[in-house]
Amino acid sequence: MKYTIETHELTKKFALQKGFTDFFLHPFRKDEITAVEDVNLKIKKGEIFGILGPNGAGKTTLIKMLCTLILPSEGTAHVNGYDISKDSGKVRESIGFITSDERSFYWRLTGRHNLRFFAALHNYYSDDAEERIDELLSLVGMEDRGDDRFLSYSAGMKQRMAIARGLLNDPAVLFMDEPTRALDPGAAQNVRKFVKEHITGDEGKTVFLSTHHLPEAEELCDRIAIINEGRIVAVGTLEELKSALDKPDPGLGDVFTHYTGKEFEKGAAPKHVYPGRRRMMGGGRPRGMRF
Ligand SMILES: Nc1ncnc2c1ncn2[C@@H]1O[C@H](COP(=O)(O)OP(=O)(O)OP(=O)(O)O)[C@@H](O)[C@H]1O
Ligand SMILES: [Mg+2]
């Protein structure tokens, strides 16, 4: 296995829900949105690989496919040598997925009870699980709060618990979807330090992360990919990306603007959530989309 993550023409199309009128006027027409299109990436062991792009560019969809949470429409990908479509169980055993969506925890249970539950899903029980949970709680600095209910945690503490959960099965690859969203600058800095020093430094794990925070990508990532409208438009180290620009002393924000045609702030928060018509298959307004 040469690469820890390798994708080949990976594509995801979502069917759009039809409105009532559309359903009667065009019963056989298929409206689709291409969220991720022909993505080819090769990521080595121990790399911190960042993916940057405006809202709706396809970052979460790409991560979800690599974590086997959704199936690709076309193309293939291997994670830790396993095919995400054919060997999804093996992929899941060898990865951790950390998001900033804390709804996936049980708020009325304590942090420890939550971890115990998720440990059982990874086939860790009794003493083994307790040992691992204690280890992780102290790793993320939550040993004193582990027995408090999840609902009593601050956003930063919830995020630490999400990191602890993502590490339960000691994964070789960690996927992080906006891991520092909603964290204050100090807590976000702690997470970055933790990723750099512990996860990739001491443990040599591979990290694939999406972020909207340019300094985070600059500080953490060995290589960065820019994604726009589902397509990877640039990949390289920070220096490589900057050197491709015809501008003195460019920043990552300039790289982002160059490849996406959007100012970073505007790109991160578009005025509307609908995709451009250009990307709709079968035409028509994307009525009935749910967000
Ligand atoms: N389940 C779904 N059904 C239909 N369309 C979807 C679905 N999930 C995502 N999409 C669409 O796919 C596109 C990519 O969405 P995705 O969530 O991957 O973007 P993102 O880059 O993670 O954006 P953000 O920065 O806002 O998190 C968007 O246009 C979105 O509306
Ligand atoms: Mg997202």
Which pTM does this prediction carry?
A: 0.86
Lowest mean pLDDT among 42-51, 113-122, 211-220, 267-276: 267-276
- CA-nearest of 116, 52, 86, 64 to 260 is 52
Q: Whose CA is nearest to atom 18 of ligand 1?
A: 58
d(CA 126, CA 172): 23
Report pLDDT digits (tens) over 170-223.
Answer: 899 999 999 888 677 887 888 888 888 878 877 789 999 999 888 899 999 999
User: Directed axis angle between helix 155-166 and helix 111-121, to 10°?
Assistant: 20
Per-residue confidence (pLDDT) for residue 189, from 0 to 100 = 85
* Residue 265: pLDDT over 70: no
- Which residue carries 């993916």 as its tokens? 51
Per-residue confidence (pLDDT) for residue 282, from 0 to 100 = 40
CA of 56 to the centre of ligand 2 (A): 7
Strand order of the β-sheet with 32-43 is 82-83, 74-79, 5-15, 32-43, 280-281
Is 33's C-beta closer than 6 angstroms to any atom of ligand 1?
Answer: yes
Give yes or no for a contact between 81 and 2, defined as CB atoms under 8 angstroms apart. Answer: no
Report pLDDT digits (tens) over 208-228.
Answer: 999 988 889 999 999 999 999
Per-residue confidence (pLDDT) for residue 291, from 0 to 100 = 25
Is 133's C-beta closer than 6 angstroms to any atom of ligand 1?
Answer: no
Q: In a mutational test of the pocket of ligand 1, which residue from 12, 52, 55, 279 has the highest number of ligand atoms less than 8 Å from its CB?
A: 55
- For β-strands 82-83 and 74-79, DSSP reports them as antiparallel
CA of 126 to the centre of ligand 2 (A): 35
Q: In a mutational test of the pocket of ligand 1, which residue from 61, 262, 281, 290 has the highest number of ligand atoms less than 8 Å from its CB?
A: 61
